[in-house]
Structure 1
Amino acid sequence: MLDVCLLGTGGMMPLPYRWLTSMLLRYNGSSLLVDCGEGTQIAVKEKGWSFKPIDVICFTHYHADHISGLPGLLLTMGNAERSEPLTMVGPKGLEKVVGALRMIAPELPFEIKYMELKNPQEDFEINGYHIHAFRVNHNITCYGYSIEIKRAGRFHVEWAKEKDIPQKFWSLLQHGQVIEYEGNYYTPDMVLGKPRKGIKVTYCTDTRPTENLKNAAKNSDLLICEGMYAEPEKLAKAKQYKHMTFYEAAETARDAKVGELWLTHFSPSLVHGESYMPKVQKIFARASLGFDGRSVELDFEEEKP
């Protein structure tokens, strides 16, 4: 099961009813944060979740509304006597940017590991998360993230018995390990069926619509995507500043065949966003407005007998 919480939905500046952008995922005792805008700490507290399990932070880009909450978060984590390493992922320049922000949080009791993204697309595994980072189209280098919980195929006891595989290795094979024992090699494909559908969440803000985004979001259970502007007359402004409208986000969700769309990263000028949703839902019926603290539990699909 993957817990997803949209902590903040604001763009550019925090408002009394809207923190700046961030999302928190929880899986198997680990938490992954995407972006850390101003107010992220308060949003986590309001949700009743914990900072301690956060061991991965991914940044889309380094505009202030996406990273300005980081120094305070690091101080809080340090004051909680955290000792486990913290991995940070982001575009090139990550270590330099974080180093500058840490001028006000210079002493921390834990190590920070940096993974700087340099290619248009990169894939890596951290703590059970399969992360696909993909470059999008903003006015500075910016990435979106698809985060998957992969699911191996069903374990077949009868296959293991037919191949005389010792039972003490079954669990290891089930978890993807290759075993060498008494001159024999045992591989996971000897006991596992075809991979089953996992869980996939795609998060993207600050971009014009791109094929990269559609391809990365394809078949996601949930797409959390920016809808900076709702008013149709603001399309020109969206193009000028490299953002998306509600309707462009809905078209992306439709074309990517996602399960559900949550809109986020709203302009400070946006009020009564719900009044625009009937038109948006004509494009993609399962579109809805994100809001601070909105969360969902995503589980693996039940298998047909």
Structure 2
Amino acid sequence: LELTEPEQTIHMDGFRIEAFKVNHNVPCYGYSIVIDRIGKFDVDKAVSLGLERRYWSRLQKGETIEIDGMTYVPEMVLGQARKGLKVTYCTDTRPTKGIVGHAKNSDLFICEGMYGEPDKQQKAKEKKHMTFYEAAEIGRQADVDRMWLTHYSPSLNRPEEYLDAARKIFPRVEVCKDGKTIELNFEDESNSSAMQK
């Protein structure tokens, strides 16, 4: 799929991908993967509308149905939309307000941290990358649940050495290594929002 606009949304089966242009020397995009959730089925609403039970699951799955000339839409029998899940991924960029907006309230924000050393600030600007501290500031402003730093400079042998300073800006930041995984759960389906390996 070719991206041609600064912001594009791609709807897939059950989720959407929001692509947004970032600030690098060549065209690059960040991505938010979003799973929206509909509200819970409200039996009382269905009964008050006189809907037979056999139609309930179709409405719950998002179908619009017509019965005896009457149109019934899911919103008529569903409660308020529930919080879904959101993961935002962003590398090869300088910090921008657009990244903050797209990462807002992400359950997981995966962001580049090319340089951990504070004295690499100028190099980050020249190469259009971010330092750990700039990335952590985006995580803080976007109020993300948790954040993983990735895409380190090859010269950065021990990224964890710079983590404490980044955590002073945003405490829920971690360094990410190849193979790191996480299980994200909907809020009402688990006592914890994430289990990590």
Fold shared by both chains (TM-score > 0.5): yes
Aligned partners of 1:176 and 1:127: how far apart in 2?
Answer: 12
| Contact 1:165–1:186, Cα closer than 8 Å, also in 2 | no
Residues 56-93 of structure 1: CA distance to partner in whole angstroms, max 9, x if unpaired?
A: xxxxxxxxxxxxxxxxxxxxxxxxxxxxxxxxxxxxxx
Aligned partners of 1:168 and 1:140: how far apart in 2?
Answer: 55
1:238 paired to 2:105: no
**In the TM superposition, what is the alpha-carbon distance from 1:236 to its structure 2 partner?**
0.9
Aligned partners of 1:278 and 1:144: how far apart in 2?
Answer: 26
| Contact 1:228–1:266, Cα closer than 8 Å, also in 2 | yes
Q: Which runs of 5+ in 2 are unaligned?
A: 190-197
Please show how residues 160-199 of structure 1 align to structure 2 within 5 Å.
160-199=46-85
Aligned partners of 2:182 and 2:58: how far apart in 1?
Answer: 31
Residues 194-249 of structure 1: CA distance to partner in whole angstroms, max 9, x if unpaired?
A: 11100110000000001111000000011000001111111111111111110000
Match of 1:141 in 2: 27
**In the TM superposition, what is the alpha-carbon distance from 1:175 to its structure 2 partner?**
1.8
Match of 1:156 in 2: 42
Aligned partners of 1:126 and 1:135: how far apart in 2?
Answer: 20
Match of 2:179 in 1: 293
Aligned partners of 2:54 and 2:82: how far apart in 1?
Answer: 24
Aligned partners of 2:36 and 2:144: how far apart in 1?
Answer: 17
1:302 paired to 2:188: yes
Residues 86-127 of structure 1: CA distance to partner in whole angstroms, max 9, x if unpaired?
A: xxxxxxxxxxxxxxxxxxxxxxxxxxxxx2211111112113
Q: Which runs of 5+ in 1 are unaligned?
A: 1-114
Aligned partners of 2:23 and 2:58: how far apart in 1?
Answer: 42
Aligned length: 189
Which residue identity does 2:114 align to in structure 1? M
Aligned partners of 1:120 and 1:180: how far apart in 2?
Answer: 40
Match of 1:119 in 2: 5
Aligned partners of 2:43 and 2:4: how far apart in 1?
Answer: 44
Runs of 4+ in 1 over 3 A off after TM superposition: none
Identity of aligned residues (%): 54
What SS does the corresponding residue of 1:291 show, helix, strand or coil?
Answer: coil
Aligned partners of 2:42 and 2:88: how far apart in 1?
Answer: 32
Aligned partners of 1:219 and 1:242: how far apart in 2?
Answer: 25
Match of 1:269 in 2: 155
Which residue identity does 1:179 align to in structure 2? I
What SS does the corresponding residue of 1:122 show, helix, strand or coil?
Answer: strand
Output the aligned Cα RMSD. 1.1
**In the TM superposition, what is the alpha-carbon distance from 1:168 to its structure 2 partner?**
2.2
Match of 1:74 in 2: none
Aligned partners of 1:175 and 1:117: how far apart in 2?
Answer: 30
| Contact 1:204–1:224, Cα closer than 8 Å, also in 2 | yes
Aligned partners of 2:126 and 2:58: how far apart in 1?
Answer: 53
Please show how residues 1-80 of structure 1 align to structure 2 within 5 Å.
none
TM-score by length of 2: 0.93
Aligned partners of 1:172 and 1:181: how far apart in 2?
Answer: 13
**In the TM superposition, what is the alpha-carbon distance from 1:130 to its structure 2 partner?**
1.4
**In the TM superposition, what is the alpha-carbon distance from 1:254 to its structure 2 partner?**
0.1
